Amino acid sequence: MEPSSQPVIVVRDLKIGFGKLPVLKGLTLNLNTKENLVVLGKSGSGKSVLIKCIVRLLRSDSGTIDVMGERIGELNASDLAAMRMKIGFLFQSGALYDSMTIKENLAFPLKRIKRNLSSKQIDEKINEALENVGLSDTLDKMPSQLSGGMRKRASLARTIVVDPQIMLYDEPTTGLDPVTSDEISALINQIQEKYNTSSIIITHDIECARATADRMIMLKDGKVYMEGSLEDFETSSDELMQSFFKPKIKHQR
């Protein structure tokens, strides 16, 4: 499905800092419906901080964030919980609950978000989500028994099991080998097609960005440095873009 120009997330002049260190200095961006927006930037440029502000895991110092027309900063606890039900968040570390099996990990948000489901329906949804990420045989395994890539997939299954409308991916391919990274990138596209989600993908993995982006944003010094299509970024003569997109020169030993 083609992205539409109807924004589902609107971020305006977002500022946040930690102590005396400013991280985002007036960031403005939109995420359109059914769009995969890739946010690139060096480590420490505030990419993860941005999506944590969107789900209000962090409170911004100033600026506004509207998600599906509702101002995130002004929601009370119950409205915020309702809003968060519509958003899937894939954490950098996977963040699977390590005292629970994979099945319990997936059942945890389901039982809390979709309270009217019977246990049979919950089982069906869990099986479907695990099948979608190719992990049908891991139901009773503990997270510690899975590889890094499998943990990421299981975590992805946990986010899609509640049918979110918006997906926020925090460095989905970090720490994975190139083959598994490609598989995760393909999964992101499959999820977008199957569930019609709008996604923000935070990454500094260029291959993941190439595979998933409808539109791209580069962050620098807490602001949007460049915005455009993959082609715009690849053909840019800007030094920062080149350092990301041009083939790396091999260092001599």
Partner 1 sequence: MKHMKVIGPVLKRIPRLPNVKQQAIKLSENAIRKTEKVNQFFLEVGAFTLFFWLTFKATFSRDFEFREFLRQCYLVGNKTLPLITITGLVIGLVLTIQSRPILAEFGALSMLPNMVTLSIVKEMGPVVTALICAGKIGSGMGAELGSMKVTEQIDAMEVSSTNPIRFLVVPRVLAATFMIPILVLYADAFGIMGSWLGANIKGDVNFVLFTTQAFSSLGFSDLFPAIIKTFFFGAAIGFVGCFKGFTAGRGTRSVGIAANESVVMASMFVILIDLVAAQITDML
Q: Which of residues 93-132 bind partner 1 (CB under 8 A)?
A: 93, 95-98, 108-109, 112-113
Q: Which stretch binds partner 1 (CB under 8 A): 65-73, 77-85, 130-138, 189-197?
A: 77-85
Question: Minimal distance in Å, beta carbon 170 to partner 1?
Answer: 9
Which residues fall within 8 angstroms of residue 120, CB to CB, at 6 or more apart?
A: none
Residue from 38, 39, 50, 87 binding partner 1 (CB under 8 A)? 87
Q: Which of 195, 192, 202 is nearest to 49 (CA)?
A: 202
∠ CA(88), CA(91), CA(96), 5° rounding? 95
Q: Which is nearer to partner 1, 171 or 205 (CB)?
A: 171
Q: Which stretch binds partner 1 (CB under 8 A): 76-84, 116-124, 201-209, 217-225?
A: 76-84
Which residues fall within 8 angstroms of residue 12, CB to CB, at 6 or more apart?
A: 28, 63, 64, 65, 66
Question: Minimal distance in Å, beta carbon 245 to partner 1?
Answer: 30
**CA-CA distance, 51 to 74, in Å (whole number)?**
17
**Under rule CB under 8 A, how many of the chain's residues touch partner 1?**
22
Per-residue interface string for the shown chain with partner 1, residues 37-56, x marking contact by CB under 8 A: ---------------x--x-
Residue 54 and residue 65 in contact, taking contact as beta carbons nearer than 8 Å: yes
Instruction: Name residue 27's amino acid.
Output: L
Q: Which of residues 156-175 bind partner 1 (CB under 8 A)?
A: 158, 162
Residue from 30, 91, 153, 199 binding partner 1 (CB under 8 A)? 91
Residue from 50, 53, 89, 102 binding partner 1 (CB under 8 A)? 89
Q: Which stretch binds partner 1 (CB under 8 A): 80-88, 193-201, 215-223, 235-243?
A: 80-88
Please report which helix (H) or strand (E) contains residue 83, including its range: helix 77-84
Question: Minimal distance in Å, beta carbon 56 to partner 1?
Answer: 9
Question: Minimal distance in Å, beta carbon 151 to partner 1?
Answer: 11
Residue from 57, 186, 193, 242 binding partner 1 (CB under 8 A)? 57
Residue 227 and residue 240 in contact, taking contact as beta carbons nearer than 8 Å: no
- Taking the CA of residue 37 as centre, how many other CA atoms within 13 Å lie in the half-sphere pointing to its CB? 29
Which residues fall within 8 angstroms of residue 250, CB to CB, at 6 or more apart?
A: none
**CA-CA distance, 126 to 119, in Å (whole number)?**
10
Q: Which is nearer to partner 1, 110 or 187 (CB)?
A: 110
Which residues fall within 8 angstroms of residue 241, CB to CB, at 6 or more apart?
A: 218, 226, 233, 234
* Beta-bridge mates of residue 166: 87, 198
Q: Which is nearer to partner 1, 100 or 206 (CB)?
A: 100
DSSP conformation class of 2 = P
Q: If binding is defined by CB under 8 A, does position 190 make contact with partner 1?
A: no
Using CB under 8 A as the criterion, which residues of the chain lie in contact with partner 1 when the complex forms?
A: 52, 55, 57, 81-82, 84-85, 87, 89, 91-93, 95-98, 108-109, 112-113, 158, 162
